[in-house]
Structure 1
């Protein structure tokens, strides 16, 4: 199985990017992982929030295959602790799934078309984080999930 993280816009903060790169490298020991960064939408000053979400949604959906299971990282999604998340990952791996795609949307969230296509929503916290920090938090949780599955000491129970 391949796990993909799909995001809009690159990470501007070099310190955050360095940490993301570190966890991405660590994940490579457990699973095939792809980090797909879509370009920011240009000329957003002339677009409404809805129009911007629609354009971002078109970009997101252009990267999703019919067979992909797509999970949105969404503030209204189901929240799990790290052990439950590791079990969630294991369940997907056991299902014979080819590709599990997690998506971080743009600053205004997701378009209706993306919500219609999704297979689920996952919430990281009831708090609001910058989209750039969410990338780091999520990739760290992926890594943590795999160390839990392997019963490695990274996660102290």
Structure 2
């Protein structure tokens, strides 16, 4: 199985990039993992919020393959514990899912069409985090989930 973390937005600040690199390297022991940054829509500042979300949504939907399992990170999504995330990943692996994509939307969230395409909507917290920090948190949580799956000591239960 391959896991990708897609995120709309700018390059990571150095401290975020360094943190992600640590967990990305650790993740490679368990799974083929890739972080994919999707550039913001050109002339985004001149678009209305609904139009911006629609254009971002079209770009994302065009990138997805029919067999991709899409997990949309959304403030209204389901909250899970690390153990539940580990169970979810194990279920996807058991189902022979080829690719799971965790998607972080743009500054105003995800378009309805993308949310409808997602097989799972996941919320990390009722708090609002900067997108770059969410990339780091998700990379660490994926690593943590794999240590749970492999019964390693990183996650304390």
- Same fold by TM (over 0.5)? yes
Which residue does 1:81 correspond to in 2?
Answer: 81
Distance 1:17 1:153 in 2: 25
How many pairs are equivalent? 157
Q: Distance in 2 between matches of 1:42 and 1:15?
A: 26
TM-align CA RMSD? 1.0
Matched residue, 1:43: 43
* 2-structure distance, mates of 1:20, 1:10: 15
- Is 1:15 aligned to 2:11, yes or no? no
Displacement of 1:12 after TM fit? 3.6
Distance 1:59 1:21 in 2: 26
CA distance in 2, matches of 1:153, 1:12: 29
* SS at 2:19 equivalent: helix
Please state whether the residue corresponding to 2:73 is helix, strand or coil: strand
Residue equivalent to 2:120: 120
Q: Tell me by how many angstroms 1:42 deviates.
A: 1.9
Q: Unaligned stretches of 5+ in structure 2?
A: none
> For residue 133 of structure 1, what is the aligned residue in structure 2?
133
SS of the equivalent of 1:78 reads strand
Which residue in 1 is equivalent to 2:31? 31
Deviations 1:45-68 (A, max 9, x none): 210001110111112112110001
Counterpart Cα distance in 2 of 1:97 and 1:12 = 29
Secondary structure of the residue aligned to 2:5 is strand
**How far 1:124 moved relative to its partner?**
0.5
Displacement after TM superposition at 1:19 (Å): 0.4
Q: Structure 1 stretches of 5 or more lacking a match?
A: none
Shift of 1:11: 3.1
- Residue 98 of structure 1 corresponds to which residue in structure 2? 98
TM-score (norm 1): 0.96
DSSP 3-state at the match of 2:74: strand
Q: Which position in structure 1 is the counterpart of 2:65?
A: 65
Per the alignment, residue 3 of structure 1 pairs with: 3
3-state SS in 2 of match to 1:142? helix
Q: Secondary structure of the residue that 1:70 maps to in structure 2?
A: strand
* Alignment partners' CA distance in 1, 2:3 and 2:99: 6
TM-score if structure 2 supplies the norm length?
A: 0.96
Instruction: Give, in whole Å, the separation in 2 of the partners of 1:129 and 1:144.
Output: 19
